[in-house]
């Protein structure tokens, strides 16, 4: 299931899908004012994917995370 939140700090932004939301997380989002609705797919949602690399400035260690919705992509830093 995909959940959509209609609450946003940006009044000109549209709702964005949130996938794999745990039930307790969804309940907490509702508690703080988010309105969530289920979607059956990302089709028409204009949802992109993301890869992220965080670099610790003290150790220069890198931590990469790849969007789990795209099994063929990776976050690589060097």
Of 5, 29, 8, the closest CA to residue 17 belongs to: 5
Task: Return phi, psi of residue 61, to 5°.
Answer: -65, 145
Rounded distance, CA 62 to CA 76, Å?
A: 9
For the record, the structure tokens of 20 come out as 């794999």
Confidence of residue 5 (pLDDT cuts 50, 70, 90): very low
For the record, the structure tokens of 16 come out as 């964005």
pLDDT attached to residue 63: 85
**What are 16-72's pLDDT values in tens digits?**
555 557 888 889 989 999 888 777 666 666 666 778 888 889 998 888 888 777 767
Domain boundaries, the chain: 1-42
E strand map for 16-76: 17-19, 36-39, 51-55, 62-66
């Amino acid at each position: 299931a995909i959940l959509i939140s209609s609450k946003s700090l940006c009044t000109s932004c549209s709702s964005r899908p949130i996938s794999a939301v745990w039930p307790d997380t969804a309940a907490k989002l509702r508690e703080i004012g988010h309105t969530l609705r289920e979607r059956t797919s990302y089709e028409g949602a204009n949802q992109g994917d993301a890869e992220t690399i965080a670099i610790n400035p003290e150790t220069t260690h890198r931590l990469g995370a790849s969007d789990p919705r795209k099994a063929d992509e990776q976050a690589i830093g060097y």
